[in-house]
Structure 1
Amino acid sequence: MNPATPPNGHIPQRPAPEREFTMRFTSTSRGARLARRLVSHRLNDWGHDYTTQVNETLTLITAELAANAVRHGHVPGRDFHVRLTLAEGTFRIEVTDTRAEKQPPTNPPAIDSLSESGRGMLLVATLADNWGVSPRRTAPGKTVWAELHAPPQGHPLTHRVAPEPTDIDLLLATASLLHGVPGSRPGAARRGGRRR
């Protein structure tokens, strides 16, 4: 649960992922919510149902990292990237933004019980088996990542239950989330399903 930032900025070699999901999101609160939802959907597709501990934990970690990317890593006109991988029984979530100078604390401080913010990285440090910050490989910025070791579960790689969603499937899912399909947004029923 200690953050592991690579010495001298060198990123250690990682095993090739068995499964991978990557997407770019607008650096807005809506983009952060969409990132959280799509990671949860992808984990469900991979056999870790929405109510499993793995799905709930990784979704919460994604929510915190994406919110931090929007709040502290936002550069006007720049998006943030999310990458979720599974390799050798370890899930890794990476959120990359373009602001290198704003780094999360390597040892999140204890938070005053009256404070209304500052718990995000403490939560990530508590939930993840490992986490850290790495420099962005190809451009200015940083990647904040977290790893979670999970017991084998889900659909066997050789016997897929459903085909991987195509780019069209992801775009349709994204559009339905953004355009307020009834019931897809909390409070939609109270407002009659209309946008304000």
Structure 2
Amino acid sequence: MIEVSDLRKGMVIMYEGEPYRVIDVNKHHMAMGRGLVRTKLKNVKTGLVRDVTFSSGDRVAEAELSFRKAQYLYNDGDHYHFMCLDDYEQLTFSEEEIGDAKWYLTENLEVDILMLEESPIGIQLPNVVVLRVVETEPSFKGDTVAGGGKPAVLETGLRITVPFFVEKDELIKVDTRTGEYVERA
């Protein structure tokens, strides 16, 4: 059992006997009272999305998941194809099931397939992936004084802010949990 205040986006929990993926979490603290944790949960089996409000201090059961190592192969528009590394079985996920993970998938990337009762329900990315910058503005001498950054488009279509010294065609590391630049690769 975990406290609802520890819920994070992407976790899979058991709620009313059904497995739900946490889509969104908002914590609200009230003066002179207990806080509220408002969540948006999506049923893993049916796809039903519902808003659930918990009191802080409530506990929920975390779903018992198993993991299988897999390699990302390709996408054919609407579906993403993976190959399990232990038995070479191919699994297919829709774009809706993949969600924001699609912005970090490159050919041959190793991921963990989340399994609930022997059926695949999603993927778990590594914490950091290496992506190529395909579009960014050129930097000029003296740009680093501001300490900010500039927009960049990566090979998967992801748009992030990178430091001024990053140039086109460079490989950079990106944190998959926050979507932020980490360092040059």
TM-score bracket, shorter-length normalisation:
under 0.3
Taking structure 1 as the reference length, the TM-score comes to: 0.22
Taking structure 2 as the reference length, the TM-score comes to: 0.23
Find the structure with the greater CA-based Rg.
2
